[in-house]
Chains A and B, each alone.
Chain A
Amino acid sequence: MTQQTAATPATTAAAGGTMRSSKLQEAITGYGFVAPALFVLVVFMIIPLIVSFYFSLTDWNGITPLDQGRITEDNPDGAYEIVGLENYTRILFEPGIRQASFYTALKNTAYYTLGIVPVQTVLALVLAVIVNQRWLKGKGFFRTAFYFPSITSSVVISLIFMWMFTSSGLVNTAIKAIFPQYTPVTWLDDPNGLIHLFLNTIGINPSREAIRMCDPATLQFWGCEIASIRLWDWFSGPSVTMATIMILNIWTTIGTMMIIYLAALQGIPSQVYEAAYVDGANAWQLFRRITVPLLSPTTFFVVTVGLIGSLQVFDQVYVMTAGGPNNTTLTVAYLVYRSAFKDSRMGLAAATAIVLFIIIFLFTMAQRRIIRERN
């Protein structure tokens, strides 16, 4: 009896000891295993955010070696000066060329995003619903055909589209063959906005002078500048060249979006449809009242991913247009690159990047919030 009671604390103490040491060992292993990945992600993804913010407060040109340090009274040959929020005020608030570039890029990116996200989402949903039909043969073929473009290099696709859309290329010759009246469009070098062109066709056609006039007293306001951009330019829509890049991106992404929709569609139990069918619902009602509502989380995801992706469009602009013609394909991401590495204004570029980050961050946060509220 006494032996037993004496033995019990001893064994528990021994067991506790091994447990503590094995716990410690597990922790050491745990930190050790996660360390390489954490190191890479912290050093090359999180610290850069801080570095980026720091340089957005400077006027560094990106060329003068940083070893020369900050400009101070003792160090007049420094590489950069701390200018506070000056870069931000120059792109956001101060009328001038920097503000004009930033808001042009923002306007172009907004048109681009508003143009492609709805189209690719609706198209992807329609395709997924059709591919999901039981009677369809050759599902694999269609899935492959739709999906393959999205795994192909953006540079390759940009080159292929540049070639297809040259003035005597595949697209123009095909349209010409169908409509002999067609005057070839120079897709890759047409700065005219789509809305502008549409207004022209219905007879609203302000003259070159009118576009430059700003005199509200005589109702001439097209030339009035808001954030260094003329009102007419704000409203003229994405240029023909931008539309070409939009077509490219819709063409590339619908496959991915379709696959995501398809997976979600396959998760809807067929009993749901059968029940509705017995109640006398027709195909359109099934789609409208059952498929679309049940897929709304997926739609939400597809829209957000599309939104975040299109706010960052860069490769296609770099390869196809370098922002031209007339800056009508200048996107925010390309502006960051251009100010940093072409115009030698690292500080300004860093500030532009931080503003873009905040915009994207707000969208992501809004998404999280809506998802949480739904659940």
Chain B
Amino acid sequence: MAAAAQPLPQTNTSTSGRIIRRVLLIIGIIILIVVAFVEIIPFVFTIANSFKCLPAINAHPWAFIPVPPFGVDCVQDGIPLPANATVQGLTFNPSLDGYRTVIAQDLPRWFMNSIIFSVAITICRLITDSLAGYSLARLKYIGNRVIFFIILGTLMIPGVVLIIPRFIMLQQLGLLNTYQGLIIVLASDAFGIFLMKQFFENVPHEIEEAAQVDGASRFTTFARIILPMATPALVALTIFSFQGQWNNFMDALIIIGSNPLLWTLTLGLSSLQGVSGETLIWNMFLAGSVITTIPLAIVFFSFQRYFVEGTAYSGLAGQ
């Protein structure tokens, strides 16, 4: 009797358990879809509205389906087209007005400067970080550990604290508002060194020993044999550094902010802004935002695995 009674409540709980599980599953999927929707919508509508005439953006921000005629002129015979002339329901006639306006605002120069800074800083970091990482991982000398802790310690210094002294120091060195000024300040970073060090520590010792038996110098061994093996770490370092510098705002603002010839995309975009948030030329801003994001989106979608793994790694390592 007791033995027969036992399975009964168990089937009961498993049926109710199954219902609970199904409810949880549905709630889970709903949460996931809602959040994904919320995360994506701003980008979709930014792209759509960057192709609209200004009155249409202000009156109908939700129209997002482009329909012909394409490339409408927002100003015809000196009069701006009214909002309803280019929007019907959720459809709109795309225009390149926003892009034309933002490109007229020196955007090509900002774009070039962003590339110059991001690439130069990334190259500097690849060199300094991999050399330092190798030295700390593999070479034995007095002070090795102390140097590592000094470098790691710089991770704890908040960027905001550095803006004033860096401004003062670069001013004294005559490097304020120069390309070199911003590049040298950011030419190395503790995270990159840490990443490279971790990688080199896992390279088998035999490989170096074999090279040294052949009489290769330390530098040759490093440059010819060890470094090529570190390609995955170097790629991760490259994309993280490029992304960080492409988006860098605060350092650029302080160091090159008063020389418009050196402005990057982020500085340029922020400078376009007037005082009032309600009367801005939104198609220009949105077009600028799209142009700023495209190179990063390309890098992101080509190397997504590295971004995800790098972020996950920083989390696991940070514990």
Mark A residues whose CB is within 8 Å of B: 23, 25-27, 29-34, 36-38, 40-52, 55, 66, 123, 126-127, 130-131, 133, 135-136, 141-149, 151-156, 159-164, 166-170, 173-174, 188-189, 251, 254-256, 259-264, 267, 280, 282-284, 297-298, 300-302, 305, 308, 311-312, 314-315, 318-320, 332-333, 336-337, 340-341, 346, 349-350, 353-354, 356-357, 360-361, 364, 371
**How many contacts A-B (CB < 8 Å)?**
293
14 contacts between A and B (CB under 8 A): A26-B139, A40-B184, A42-B150, A130-B29, A149-B42, A151-B247, A152-B293, A166-B277, A173-B61, A174-B62, A251-B42, A283-B20, A340-B164, A357-B158
Q: Which residues of A contact B59 (CB under 8 A)?
A: 168
Interface centre among B29, B31, B188 (most CB of A within 10 A): B188
Known: A41-B188, A163-B285. A170 touches B45 (CB 8 A): yes
Judge whether B273 is part of the interface by a CB distance below 8 angstroms.
yes
Known: A154-B247, A154-B249, A259-B312. A37 touches B129 (CB 8 A): yes
User: A375 CA to B293 CA in the complex, in Å?
Assistant: 42
Please, how many residues of chain B have a CB less than 8 angstroms from a CB on the other chain?
105
Partner of A47, one of B58, B150, B169: B169
**What's the least CB distance linking B278 to chain A, in Å?**
6
Cβ proximity bits B243-279 to A, threshold 8 Å, 1 near / 0 not: 1001101100110000000000110011001000110
User: A196 CA to B170 CA in the complex, in Å?
Assistant: 45
Interface centre among A135, A152, A280, A283 (most CB of B within 10 A): A152
Q: Write the chain B residue with the least CB distance to A28.
A: B141
User: A47 CA to B165 CA in the complex, in Å?
Assistant: 9
Partner of B21, one of A55, A136, A151, A283: A283
Q: A49-B165, A151-B307, A166-B278 are in contact. List 9 more A-B contacts (CB 8 A).
A: A30-B139, A36-B188, A38-B132, A127-B32, A264-B315, A282-B17, A350-B164, A356-B160, A356-B161
Q: Write the chain A residue with the least CB distance to B268.
A: A155
Q: Which residues of B contact A259 (CB under 8 A)?
A: 308, 311-312, 315
**What's the least CB distance linking A273 to chain B, in Å?**
13
- Chain A interface mostly: helix
Q: Which residues of A contact B311 (CB under 8 A)?
A: 147, 256, 259-260
User: A298 CA to B293 CA in the complex, in Å?
Assistant: 30
Decide: B219 and A29 in contact? CB cutoff 8 A.
Answer: yes
Decide: A161 and B316 in contact? CB cutoff 8 A.
Answer: no
